[in-house]
Amino acid sequence: MSDKFTIGERDILLVVDIQNDFCPGGNLAVPRGDEVLPVINGLAAKFAHVALTQDWHTRGHISFASSHPSKVPYQTIELGYGTQMLWPDHCVQGTPGAAFHQDLRIPHAELVLRKGYHRAIDSYSAFYENDRKTRTGLAGYLRERGFHRTFLAGLAFDFCVRYSAEDARRDGFEVLVVDDACRGIDVDGSVAATRELFNTAGIRCIPAHAVG
Ligand code: VGL
Ligand code: ZN
Protein backbone atom coordinates (compact mmCIF):
# COMPACT_ATOMS: atom_id res chain seq x y z
CA MET A 1 0.00 0.00 0.00
CA SER A 2 2.82 2.42 -0.79
CA ASP A 3 0.89 3.81 -3.74
CA LYS A 4 1.19 7.52 -4.35
CA PHE A 5 -1.69 9.48 -5.74
CA THR A 6 -0.64 12.32 -8.00
CA ILE A 7 -3.31 14.98 -7.99
CA GLY A 8 -4.40 16.52 -11.26
CA GLU A 9 -7.13 18.47 -12.99
CA ARG A 10 -9.66 15.65 -12.89
CA ASP A 11 -9.40 15.22 -9.13
CA ILE A 12 -11.42 16.95 -6.43
CA LEU A 13 -11.23 16.83 -2.65
CA LEU A 14 -14.62 16.70 -0.97
CA VAL A 15 -14.40 17.94 2.61
CA VAL A 16 -17.40 16.74 4.58
CA ASP A 17 -19.09 18.69 7.37
CA ILE A 18 -16.20 20.34 9.22
CA GLN A 19 -18.66 22.30 11.34
CA ASN A 20 -18.64 23.39 14.96
CA ASP A 21 -21.45 21.04 15.99
CA PHE A 22 -19.38 18.01 14.90
CA CYS A 23 -16.29 19.14 16.82
CA PRO A 24 -15.61 18.91 20.56
CA GLY A 25 -17.98 21.28 22.38
CA GLY A 26 -20.58 21.01 19.60
CA ASN A 27 -24.06 19.53 19.82
CA LEU A 28 -23.17 16.33 17.95
CA ALA A 29 -19.48 16.19 18.71
CA VAL A 30 -17.52 13.51 16.91
CA PRO A 31 -14.84 12.24 19.31
CA ARG A 32 -11.54 13.96 18.40
CA GLY A 33 -13.24 15.47 15.37
CA ASP A 34 -11.02 18.55 15.57
CA GLU A 35 -7.89 16.42 15.05
CA VAL A 36 -8.64 16.28 11.34
CA LEU A 37 -8.24 20.03 10.86
CA PRO A 38 -4.46 20.16 10.31
CA VAL A 39 -4.63 17.01 8.19
CA ILE A 40 -7.39 18.41 5.99
CA ASN A 41 -5.77 21.83 5.68
CA GLY A 42 -2.54 20.19 4.51
CA LEU A 43 -4.38 17.85 2.17
CA ALA A 44 -6.47 20.63 0.63
CA ALA A 45 -3.32 22.57 -0.24
CA LYS A 46 -2.40 19.73 -2.61
CA PHE A 47 -5.62 20.01 -4.58
CA ALA A 48 -6.45 22.64 -7.20
CA HIS A 49 -10.12 21.77 -6.68
CA VAL A 50 -11.93 21.42 -3.36
CA ALA A 51 -15.62 21.31 -2.47
CA LEU A 52 -16.99 21.61 1.07
CA THR A 53 -20.23 20.15 2.36
CA GLN A 54 -22.25 21.76 5.12
CA ASP A 55 -24.96 19.95 7.07
CA TRP A 56 -27.75 22.53 7.06
CA HIS A 57 -30.93 21.57 8.87
CA THR A 58 -34.17 23.41 9.46
CA ARG A 59 -35.35 23.93 13.03
CA GLY A 60 -37.53 20.97 14.02
CA HIS A 61 -35.79 18.77 11.45
CA ILE A 62 -37.13 15.22 11.25
CA SER A 63 -33.71 13.77 12.15
CA PHE A 64 -33.75 15.51 15.53
CA ALA A 65 -34.88 13.39 18.49
CA SER A 66 -36.47 16.55 19.89
CA SER A 67 -38.93 16.51 16.97
CA HIS A 68 -40.36 13.17 18.19
CA PRO A 69 -42.08 13.01 21.57
CA SER A 70 -40.70 10.20 23.76
CA LYS A 71 -37.59 9.70 21.59
CA VAL A 72 -34.02 10.34 22.61
CA PRO A 73 -30.87 10.73 20.50
CA TYR A 74 -29.39 7.57 18.97
CA GLN A 75 -32.73 5.78 18.89
CA THR A 76 -34.12 5.01 15.45
CA ILE A 77 -37.54 5.53 13.91
CA GLU A 78 -39.17 4.20 10.78
CA LEU A 79 -40.00 6.88 8.24
CA GLY A 80 -41.55 6.62 4.80
CA TYR A 81 -38.06 6.32 3.31
CA GLY A 82 -36.69 3.79 5.81
CA THR A 83 -34.96 3.66 9.17
CA GLN A 84 -33.67 6.98 10.46
CA MET A 85 -31.28 7.43 13.35
CA LEU A 86 -32.27 10.31 15.62
CA TRP A 87 -29.70 12.91 16.62
CA PRO A 88 -29.34 15.76 19.03
CA ASP A 89 -30.36 19.06 17.39
CA HIS A 90 -27.36 20.07 15.28
CA CYS A 91 -26.29 22.26 12.36
CA VAL A 92 -29.41 24.40 12.38
CA GLN A 93 -29.31 26.87 9.48
CA GLY A 94 -27.55 30.10 10.41
CA THR A 95 -26.50 29.05 13.92
CA PRO A 96 -22.88 29.06 15.17
CA GLY A 97 -23.01 25.25 15.36
CA ALA A 98 -23.62 25.08 11.63
CA ALA A 99 -20.66 27.33 10.80
CA PHE A 100 -17.40 25.84 9.55
CA HIS A 101 -14.74 25.36 12.23
CA GLN A 102 -12.66 28.50 12.50
CA ASP A 103 -9.41 26.62 11.91
CA LEU A 104 -10.49 25.30 8.52
CA ARG A 105 -8.23 26.98 5.98
CA ILE A 106 -9.39 26.29 2.45
CA PRO A 107 -9.85 29.70 0.82
CA HIS A 108 -9.64 28.13 -2.64
CA ALA A 109 -12.68 25.85 -2.10
CA GLU A 110 -14.84 26.30 -5.19
CA LEU A 111 -18.17 24.95 -3.94
CA VAL A 112 -20.04 24.81 -0.66
CA LEU A 113 -22.76 22.20 -0.96
CA ARG A 114 -25.46 22.40 1.70
CA LYS A 115 -27.52 19.33 2.49
CA GLY A 116 -30.24 18.22 4.89
CA TYR A 117 -32.31 21.36 4.31
CA HIS A 118 -35.56 19.49 3.57
CA ARG A 119 -37.32 19.29 6.93
CA ALA A 120 -38.75 15.81 6.28
CA ILE A 121 -35.69 14.07 4.76
CA ASP A 122 -32.24 13.72 6.26
CA SER A 123 -29.20 13.76 3.99
CA TYR A 124 -25.99 12.08 5.11
CA SER A 125 -24.65 11.76 1.60
CA ALA A 126 -23.46 14.71 -0.43
CA PHE A 127 -25.04 13.06 -3.50
CA TYR A 128 -28.46 11.74 -2.42
CA GLU A 129 -30.77 12.46 0.47
CA ASN A 130 -31.66 9.62 2.83
CA ASP A 131 -34.59 8.50 0.68
CA ARG A 132 -31.71 7.42 -1.61
CA LYS A 133 -33.53 9.07 -4.55
CA THR A 134 -33.55 12.83 -4.13
CA ARG A 135 -30.37 14.18 -5.70
CA THR A 136 -28.40 17.07 -4.27
CA GLY A 137 -27.04 18.02 -7.69
CA LEU A 138 -23.43 17.27 -6.78
CA ALA A 139 -22.94 14.49 -9.34
CA GLY A 140 -24.10 16.81 -12.13
CA TYR A 141 -21.76 19.54 -10.90
CA LEU A 142 -18.77 17.19 -10.75
CA ARG A 143 -19.51 15.86 -14.25
CA GLU A 144 -19.96 19.28 -15.77
CA ARG A 145 -16.66 20.35 -14.29
CA GLY A 146 -14.93 17.24 -15.65
CA PHE A 147 -13.95 15.66 -12.34
CA HIS A 148 -13.52 11.92 -12.34
CA ARG A 149 -11.83 11.05 -9.08
CA THR A 150 -13.14 12.12 -5.67
CA PHE A 151 -11.06 12.10 -2.51
CA LEU A 152 -13.15 12.21 0.64
CA ALA A 153 -12.25 13.61 4.06
CA GLY A 154 -14.14 14.87 7.08
CA LEU A 155 -16.85 14.05 9.60
CA ALA A 156 -18.28 11.68 10.34
CA PHE A 157 -16.44 8.70 8.83
CA ASP A 158 -19.33 6.31 9.52
CA PHE A 159 -22.19 8.56 8.39
CA CYS A 160 -21.72 11.43 5.96
CA VAL A 161 -18.35 10.27 4.63
CA ARG A 162 -19.57 6.70 4.33
CA TYR A 163 -22.75 7.51 2.42
CA SER A 164 -21.01 10.06 0.24
CA ALA A 165 -18.36 7.49 -0.69
CA GLU A 166 -20.94 4.84 -1.57
CA ASP A 167 -22.98 7.27 -3.63
CA ALA A 168 -20.00 8.74 -5.46
CA ARG A 169 -19.18 5.20 -6.48
CA ARG A 170 -22.77 4.47 -7.44
CA ASP A 171 -22.74 7.57 -9.67
CA GLY A 172 -19.62 6.41 -11.47
CA PHE A 173 -16.83 8.37 -9.82
CA GLU A 174 -13.61 6.85 -8.60
CA VAL A 175 -13.50 7.24 -4.81
CA LEU A 176 -10.71 7.28 -2.26
CA VAL A 177 -11.34 7.91 1.42
CA VAL A 178 -8.50 9.63 3.24
CA ASP A 179 -8.64 7.68 6.46
CA ASP A 180 -6.60 9.86 8.81
CA ALA A 181 -8.53 12.92 7.60
CA CYS A 182 -11.76 11.42 9.04
CA ARG A 183 -13.14 10.59 12.49
CA GLY A 184 -16.21 8.50 13.29
CA ILE A 185 -19.16 8.82 15.66
CA ASP A 186 -19.27 5.02 16.21
CA VAL A 187 -22.87 4.21 17.11
CA ASP A 188 -23.40 0.46 17.63
CA GLY A 189 -20.23 -0.57 15.77
CA SER A 190 -20.84 1.75 12.82
CA VAL A 191 -17.13 2.42 12.25
CA ALA A 192 -16.33 -1.29 11.88
CA ALA A 193 -19.43 -1.76 9.72
CA THR A 194 -18.26 1.08 7.47
CA ARG A 195 -14.79 -0.45 7.05
CA GLU A 196 -16.36 -3.78 6.17
CA LEU A 197 -18.69 -2.17 3.67
CA PHE A 198 -15.80 -0.24 2.07
CA ASN A 199 -13.88 -3.53 1.76
CA THR A 200 -16.70 -5.38 0.05
CA ALA A 201 -17.56 -2.40 -2.15
CA GLY A 202 -13.92 -1.94 -3.18
CA ILE A 203 -13.76 1.58 -1.75
CA ARG A 204 -10.15 2.19 -0.79
CA CYS A 205 -9.03 3.98 2.34
CA ILE A 206 -5.65 5.68 1.99
CA PRO A 207 -3.46 7.75 4.33
CA ALA A 208 -3.06 11.48 3.73
CA HIS A 209 0.67 11.07 3.13
CA ALA A 210 -0.09 8.98 0.05
CA VAL A 211 -1.53 12.08 -1.63
CA GLY A 212 1.15 14.13 -3.27
C1 VGL B 1 -23.80 13.64 10.21
C2 VGL B 1 -25.27 12.65 11.64
C3 VGL B 1 -26.22 13.62 11.37
C4 VGL B 1 -22.44 13.62 9.58
C5 VGL B 1 -24.73 14.61 9.91
O6 VGL B 1 -21.95 14.68 9.15
O7 VGL B 1 -21.84 12.53 9.54
N8 VGL B 1 -24.09 12.65 11.06
N9 VGL B 1 -25.93 14.60 10.49
ZN1 ZN C 1 -27.29 16.18 10.25
Model pTM score: 0.97
pLDDT digit of tens for each residue in the chain (212 aa)? 568 999 999 999 999 999 999 999 999 999 999 999 999 999 999 999 999 999 999 999 999 999 999 999 999 999 999 999 999 999 999 999 999 999 999 999 999 999 999 999 999 999 999 999 999 999 999 999 999 999 999 999 999 999 999 999 999 999 999 999 999 999 999 999 999 999 999 899 999 999 98
Q: Which of 87, 152, 159 to mutate to test the pocket of ligand 1 (most atoms within 8 A of CB)?
A: 159
What is the number of the ligand 1 atom nearest to the C-alpha of 57?
A: 9
How far is the centre of ligand 2, averaged over its atoms, from the C-alpha of 53 (Å)?
A: 11
Identified catalytic residue from 11, 17, 34, 55 = 17
Domain boundaries, the chain: 11-210
What is the number of the ligand 1 atom nearest to the C-alpha of 19?
A: 6
Those residues whose C-beta lies under 8 Å from the C-beta of residue 30, and which sit 6 or more positions away, are 22, 23, 155, 156, 183, 184, 185
Distance CA 173, CA 30 (A): 27
Supply the CATH classification number for the domain 11-210: 3.40.50.850
Those residues whose C-beta lies under 8 Å from the C-beta of residue 170, and which sit 6 or more positions away, are 127
Check if 89 has its Cβ closer than 6 Å to any atom of ligand 1.
no
